[in-house]
Amino acid sequence: MKNNIVFCLILVFNLKLSSQNNLIIKNFDNRIGLQNTNLSYGKLFVEEFRKIDGNHNYLKSSKFLKGDITYQNELFINIDFKYNLVDDNLIVKIPASSRFNIIVLEKKHVSKFKIENAIFINTKKFGFIQELESTNTISLYKKYRKISHKKINRNFTHYKFSQKENHIISFDNNFYEIDYQKSLIKVFPSLKNLIKKFFNENRSIRKRSPDDFYKMLVSKLNKELKTRA
């Protein structure tokens, strides 16, 4: 009982400390102005796509959303930005005196960001990927892409966008796309029968909710690898 009380006190202290650190960061950025921080390092944004009918090239919304960005090893919280899925980059809105500067961040300097409670990391192989499940053995991620399609009408040219999503795992410090049985079996040849059986028995889940399907699969693979270790 005494140990449980001590654990709870430590947990509350850590949560309070984390909240205080975020407040310090936010207050510091507000005091000196975001335009005077590393977050202003990038190129000015120029819209390259003409869009109609609410179609857009961003994740979730064409509007700026609140989130956190780790840029040049510095954490910036409660930032207005959006994630461009065509070019795989982040566009931030930075207050500057009586106006706003719209900046495209240098992708190589973005190590991590959080938007709408979704956490993304930056990888050399796949760019930004969303963290779905993180473990010490196999971790699951999701890659979002949008493809632009040029449409030419009589009076003007505009663009439509189609979205594509892929699932990725990290294992032994490498990243692999796993949307097909064959690609997954190449990573785990000794688990071929287990993988084939899982795909065959859960087709409806895969079709209805791919995220849930791959979460279940990765959980099963993790358990199997632990029993064989």
**What's the predicted TM-score (pTM) here?**
0.83
Per-residue pLDDT, averaged over 141-151, amounts to 96
- What integer pLDDT is reported at residue 67 of this predicted model? 96
187 with 195: CB under 8 angstroms?
A: no
Per-residue pLDDT, averaged over 15-24, amounts to 45
- Tokens 């959080």 belong to 114
Q: In whole numbers, what is the pLDDT of the chain averaged over residues?
A: 86
What element of type H or E holds 214?
Answer: helix 210-228
pLDDT in tens, 57-91: 999 999 999 999 999 999 999 999 999 999 999 99
- CA pair distance 34, 19, nearest whole angstrom: 20
What are the residue ranges spanned by the domains of the chain? 1-32
What element of type H or E holds 207?
Answer: helix 203-208
- What integer pLDDT is reported at residue 204 of this predicted model? 97
DSSP bridge partners of 120: 113, 130
Instruction: Identify residue 43 by its one-letter amino acid code.
Output: K
- CA pair distance 30, 189, nearest whole angstrom: 53
Per-residue pLDDT, averaged over 37-53, amounts to 84
- What integer pLDDT is reported at residue 23 of this predicted model? 43
Q: Would residue 97 be called left, alpha or beta, if left means φ above 0 and alpha means ψ between -120 and 50 degrees? A: left
Q: CA 100, 121, 83 angle in degrees (round to 5)? A: 35
Instruction: Identify residue 158 by its one-letter amino acid code.
Output: H
Q: What is the CA radius of gyration of the chain?
A: 22
- What integer pLDDT is reported at residue 10 of this predicted model? 44
- Residue with the bigger pLDDT between 93 and 25: it is 93
- Residue with the bigger pLDDT between 47 and 92: it is 92
Least confident range from 23-32, 39-48, 49-58, 75-84: namely 23-32
Q: How many other CB atoms are there within 10 angstroms of residue 165's CB atom? A: 13
- CA pair distance 162, 224, nearest whole angstrom: 37
Strand order in the sheet with 99-105: 42-44, 99-105, 89-96, 74-84, 65-71, 110-115, 118-123, 127-133, 139-152, 157-171, 174-177
Per-residue pLDDT, averaged over 175-185, amounts to 94
